[in-house]
Chains A and B, each alone.
Chain A
Amino acid sequence: MKKGNAIKIVLIISIVILLSLISFVGIYVKKTNQYVNLIPNYNLGMELGQKRVITLKVNEGKKTIYFDENGKEVSSIPEGEDESKYKKEEVEINPKENLNEENYKKAKEIIEERLKNIKVDGYAIKSSKKNGDIVVELPNNDNTNDVVNALTPTGKFEMVSETSGKVLLSNDDLKKATVAYANGQTQSGSQATNVYVIVQLNKEGTKKLKEITNTYVETNDEDNNTTTNNTTTNNTTSNNTTSNNTTNNNTTNNNTTTNNTAKESGKVILRLDWPNMYTGNIEYTDVTTQAFDSEIKDGKLQLSIGTATSNEKLQDYYNQAMQVTSILNSGLNKIEYKIDGNEILGTEITQMQINITISILIVLFAVISIALIVAYKGLGILGTIMNILVIACLSIFVRLTNVVIGINAVPVVISIIIANTIIMIKMLESMKNSDNKKTAIWHAILESLDILVILLAIAIVFTFTLGENIAAAGMIMFWGIISILLTILVFARPMFLAVNKQ
């Protein structure tokens, strides 16, 4: 019996040492003439690693507006046209009356709303009341450029008459924009996914759109050829896809009779911030120019971002669609910003602060260990070893699952060590005061579940919170709970019982 217990103790201690070595040192294998660690490195978050700092300044420049012979504003002089026919006017991009504290505050709220809508991993934002400068800090990863793209557009949404330039729909008519998908096929017959932005108008906007679709109708010529009326945008004209299962498409065959006697002829132009098909940058452009062949009653406009034939392309189009919807859903920014700075910065946390934090952790650990050893002697030493094992297991889990280590990792790790220590003490106390050690230790573990349930509640809520710092803390807490359970059930309980029998 005693020999069996001794073997058990030695085996458990060996496994503990092995896991600790793996965690703190790693597993090195030779790969092409160099040693590589199989255990991935720590993934440092925004606060401890690199971050992208974007400085937005109020655009104080001027822009040129063009007016045609009829006095209608045009976005630019069409190619080949005689420039002398057009009148030019230099105006300030941001009129002085818009540059006030209220609009600066609103601009910051709009940008924050966009960051939340895009579900960015984490951010920090600050603004100046005096000059409207906004500084945004973001984690530096593959998606950061897409997020930066969505910061400066004003979010202006307009549908105007092509002939008269009259504004038919504006931001006041918007309710919500969402991303949608539809299965489709390319001309060659291969599977594809169409990515759309669905713009839902509010009650007033729906009424207006219904009138517009009855006014600006598609006209038929003698040979029964219709004018272009599909909703493909500039981005997809080269894709030539047919889409199945799309809803609320302007080109669906509704059985409404088209009104060929239009009150106003011509088409409407839909203008909003849209990804440039070549650069991917978000720019305020004429997205569609069209007349309607059927009435739209439900107030939905379906705009195609693109057709993806690969997962990579689908992700690109999805990101672009998210940028567009986040811009539309956050409201119209009365102030136009430009990017004054876009840099990757290292951490502000100094080496001295890191050294102080590590020293505090070591001192805390030492105090806990000394207290355990003084109170429980040999079993106290084993309790300390179990604490080291919890940290080792947590480290391995965090590295293998690529959890981001942020500044909130420190309080979480301290909490895990303290929780583990409390459970160890409960187990050791229960063994001290009872004849039936096995049952007593199980009771102690079951009593300790309350603490683990509380920590689990924190872990779950934090993991599903938006924000890298907080979500990462939740995930570390979760792995900490797993490490505690693994330690007490697989190592601590058998070891304490074995040592007690010895």
Chain B
Amino acid sequence: MEKIKNVKKVVFPILILIIMIGAIIVATIGFNFGLIYEGHKRIKIYIEKDYSVEDLNNIIKEVLPNEKVLKQDIETFNKDVSFTVKNITAEQKKSLDSKIREKYKIDEKTEDVVVVVSEPHTRLRDIIKPYIKPLVITTIIIFVYMLIRFRKLGLLNVTLTSLAPVIIMQALYFSVFAICRIPISKLTMPLSLLVYILTVTVITVYLEKMKKNAE
């Protein structure tokens, strides 16, 4: 029991510190967004011939050596392809266009072999917004259930045990992203959901154990 209290005395301040540092970083420099969510350019390549994606990838790496490139298929009859990059200048686009035409022997009359489209930045609130309502409703339902099911442990005890860890774990999760500059990607919210589900599961098991010990 003493050991647990000592561990809590050490762990809680560290958690609070991490969350505070995370909050400061978010307030000042914000999160680090991955390529898909930050403002980027999409290079759409339309080639009416057989081509190899590997070859196109190599050409793009030649023209944009320092850029991270993400490939996506465009579902057209010719199975065209698009590449997402942070930025491409007009000269780089021209260079890419001429290299592709040279490689696949496409004449100058054929238009729109390489088309570049700008895509805006996705705000964090737009990424998180769909999850807020269901998570809040679920948390309220679970909290009410815990209050009824484990009322013998004391209302304040159950309230703190069921709500505090959920909030702390989510704050900790996003603080780690902010501090370690982990890019916000498509996996960020699913992992947050996993943290939430595991937290409520652990809280349930813990409260059951407390109830059993009390009995």
Contact = CB atoms under 8 A, between A and B. Distances in A.
A135 interface: yes
Contact of B138 (A135, A140, A410, A462): A462
Given A126-B119, A412-B193, 10 more contacts: A135-B119, A345-B73, A408-B190, A410-B194, A411-B194, A412-B197, A415-B197, A461-B138, A462-B134, A470-B130
B134 A345 contact: no
A451 B201 contact: yes
Closest 8 CB pairs of A and B: A411-B194, A346-B73, A128-B120, A344-B75, A415-B197, A126-B122, A465-B134, A461-B138
A457 interface: yes
28 contacts: A47-B186, A55-B119, A124-B122, A124-B126, A125-B126, A126-B120, A126-B123, A128-B39, A128-B118, A134-B120, A135-B120, A341-B117, A343-B76, A345-B82, A346-B75, A349-B186, A410-B190, A410-B194, A411-B197, A415-B198, A450-B204, A450-B208, A454-B142, A454-B204, A457-B141, A457-B142, A469-B130, A473-B193
Contact of A348 (B76, B84, B138): B84
Interface size class of A (residues with CB under 8 A): 35 or more
A447 interface: yes
A345 B73 CA distance: 6
A414 interface: yes
B36 interface: yes
B144 to A, nearest CB: 10
Contacts of B76: 343-344
B205 interface: yes
A350 to B, nearest CB: 7
Contacts of B121: 126, 128
A494 interface: no
Contacts of A126: 119-123, 126
Contacts of A340: 117
A127 B120 contact: yes
A457 B191 contact: no
A133 B119 CA distance: 8
A336 B123 CA distance: 23
Interface-central residue, A50, A347, A450, by most chain B CB under 10 Å = A450
A489 to B, nearest CB: 20
Contacts of A470: 130-131, 134
B186 A415 contact: no
Interface string A403-421: 0000110111011001100
Nearest to A413: B194
B95 interface: no
Contacts of A418: 198, 201
A453 interface: yes
Contacts of A343: 44, 74-76
A415 B141 contact: no
Contacts of B205: 422, 451
A61 B194 CA distance: 48
A266 interface: no
A453 B143 CA distance: 12
A255 to B, nearest CB: 49
A453 B193 contact: no
Interface in A417-457: 418-419, 422, 447, 450-451, 453-455, 457
A26 interface: no
Interface residues of B, number: 44
Contacts of B10: none
Contacts of A349: 186
Given A47-B186, A411-B190, A414-B194, A347 B72 contact: yes
Nearest to B39: A128
A13 interface: no
B60 to A, nearest CB: 15
B201 A419 contact: yes
A388 B155 CA distance: 39
B118 A348 contact: no
A343 B186 CA distance: 20
A126 B204 CA distance: 38
Contacts of B133: 465
Contacts of A455: 197, 201
Interface string B123-145: 10010001101100110011001
Nearest to A343: B74
A332 B43 CA distance: 34
A415 B194 contact: yes
B132 to A, nearest CB: 10
B193 to A, nearest CB: 5
A161 B137 CA distance: 50
B149 interface: yes
Contacts of A462: 134, 138
A407 B74 CA distance: 20
B70 interface: yes
Contacts of B197: 411-412, 415, 455, 458
B4 interface: no
A47 B188 CA distance: 13
Nearest to B79: A346
Contact of A55 (B117, B145, B193): B117
Interface in A284-331: none
A52 to B, nearest CB: 9
Interface in B17-60: 36, 39, 44
Contact of A451 (B72, B74, B204): B204
A407 B188 CA distance: 10
B200 interface: yes
